[in-house]
Amino acid sequence: MTLKKRVGLRIQELRLKKGLKQSELAEKAGIATKHQSCIETGKNFPSAELIEKLAAALEVDVSEILNIKHIKSVESLHNEILKTIEKANDEEIVLIYKFINSLID
């Protein structure tokens, strides 16, 4: 995964933790929503100045945005979840189902 994609996913992760929409974060950082979208999808890479603005808008230190070592793609996470479910017994599958539904509802 490219650096642009990893940084974009990290910004998206932090935005979602704050419960913000892309448009809300973009407004706080003083950029267009389209630009925010392009950053999160890895099409654009934010400048150092913009990373500072995004960090301020997300109320985190810049180092939090640059902490990308653990970021994985959604496809990779999906595959890992499926592998985990395949190993689970019936009781564990029921618990996984209940947990996922409680998160989504």
Higher pLDDT, 22 or 74: 22
pLDDT of residue 68: 75
CB 22 within 8 A of CB 33: yes
State yes or no: pLDDT of 18 exceeds 90.
Answer: yes
pLDDT of residue 75: 78
pLDDT of residue 30: 97
* Domain at 3-66, CATH homologous superfamily: lambda repressor-like DNA-binding domains (1.10.260.40)
Q: How high is the mean pLDDT of the chain?
A: 91
Q: What single-letter amino acid sits at 75?
A: E
CB 43 within 8 A of CB 12: no
Cα separation, 40 vs 22, whole angstroms: 9
Cα separation, 78 vs 102, whole angstroms: 18
- Residue range 40-84, pLDDT digits in tens: 999 999 999 999 999 999 999 999 998 877 666 677 778 888 999
> DSSP state, 22?
H
